[in-house]
Structure 1
């Protein structure tokens, strides 16, 4: 039975959190960390539920709430996710995207499909609809107040400890730091005041969501 659904919004600490979930629940009871292509492959092969082992307790990955709504309701699972300052999240996602284009060995298929975008600027990237308000898009379909927990990357350790206590974990393992831009942090683009305003405007829904969660911290 699925007890927990962990929606991993890109560049919000989900890889580190996934490793912690594996430690707490056991690798065999935590799903693979679903990538978008994994989800679409599961749909083509008969649907997400058919891709999940029967002993599963935790579902985790780049899955939008609307894609797991039926599982949430069927299992009465607790839904959790992590957010991040929207501008910082976009900048990090852009830097990760550019890093993959410059190092195609990590994902040759994606690199080949996007080779023409190697000179794309931060604002060009951010203007694309697919890259705007991504946090809101992942969470759409369930009001933030109805999530069991929403943590913030800016207070990762403290929120992680709080979540572990809320879930009744007997032991809260150390939180690993994985996939956090260390390899290409020096290449992060600088964001001046004008660019900051543009990025905030392009992600107005995410800004409102992030502010709402910060205001209602006591609810989580």
Structure 2
């Protein structure tokens, strides 16, 4: 499988050529509050047929929801015998990813990250709104952002999604790079998605952001330096992962843009 490690070491043109020749299924691993709703909307357009692998969220029943997600994965695998899916996504955990890979050994995983501090704040703000099924329970447990960030469940969430590890001490960033075909960033989502779409045909610009959390009286956050530094200190693996991915993408920007321009010319 062509991986993000290959993206890092190969000329971008060679990396893209490998992917175009391989075809197959793209799986978007949707980490909460990383603009995933916007990305899935675009996947429906550029890589149909598309499947959203999801399960109803029941307050206080996270384990049941994981089991329901596995059932949804099984339905997806069953349906794939009659539908040649080109893309799928979901708030999947690592066991769900592994099960999909059993059915699609050549599936290409990709994901998008977000500045860890901004993602934690966004996660907290969303969970306080009625759109989050457990918002009343969440409000009682975490009356303030300061309470939330001290909870282990709020820490290093991107890392946990991408590795399946709670401590992840023995897992390296390189192992993530080897598992995923492409990793983009919300902060550069327009150019990163433009590049991703160029791999799969004609370059396409993203539409307006979807599912943006609306402000309300109890989810407004006043960020200051000490709070930012505290969140950073509580999320070292997310900080390391985000920083390393950003370095790789920044080093490849000119080559990525050249690929976009070349594909745009081809399709014009």
TM-score category, normalised to shorter length? 0.7 to 0.9
Pair 1:78-2:108 in alignment: yes
Pair 1:95-2:125 in alignment: yes
Cα pair distance change 1:122/1:148, threshold 3 Å: same
Matching residue of 1:49: 74
Whether contact under 8 Å (1:9, 1:83) holds in the other structure is: yes
Whether contact under 8 Å (2:31, 2:161) holds in the other structure is: yes
TM-score of the superposed pair, with normalisation by structure 1: 0.82
**What displacement does 1:32 show?**
1.9
Cα pair distance change 1:130/1:202, threshold 3 Å: same
Whether contact under 8 Å (2:183, 2:245) holds in the other structure is: yes
Unaligned segments of structure 2, at least 5 residues: 1-22, 58-64, 165-173, 257-268
Name which of 164, 172, 184 aligns with 2:215.
Answer: 184
- Write the distance in 2 (CA, Å) between the matches of 1:216 and 1:137: 21
Pair 1:152-2:185 in alignment: yes
**What displacement does 1:212 show?**
1.0
Name which of 128, 136, 139 aligns with 2:159.
Answer: 136
**What displacement does 1:74 show?**
4.0
Greater Rg, structure 1 or structure 2? 2
**What displacement does 1:41 show?**
1.3
- Write the distance in 2 (CA, Å) between the matches of 1:34 and 1:4: 16
Matching residue of 1:103: none
TM-score of the superposed pair, with normalisation by structure 2: 0.68
- 1:12-31 equivalence runs, <5 A: 12-26=34-48, 29-31=49-51
**What displacement does 1:60 show?**
0.2
Whether contact under 8 Å (2:53, 2:69) holds in the other structure is: no
Q: Which moved more, 1:154-163 or 1:49-58?
A: 49-58
Pair 1:116-2:140 in alignment: yes
Name which of 47, 51, 54 aligns with 1:34.
Answer: 54
Whether contact under 8 Å (2:32, 2:91) holds in the other structure is: yes
Unaligned segments of structure 1, at least 5 residues: 101-105
Matching residue of 1:204: 236
Per-residue displacement from partner, 1:137-179 (whole Å, max 9, x unpaired)? 011068232211111000110000011112x223525433101
The alignment covers a number of residue pairs equal to 207
**What displacement does 1:48 show?**
2.1
Cα pair distance change 1:2/1:67, threshold 3 Å: farther
Cα pair distance change 1:36/1:123, threshold 3 Å: farther
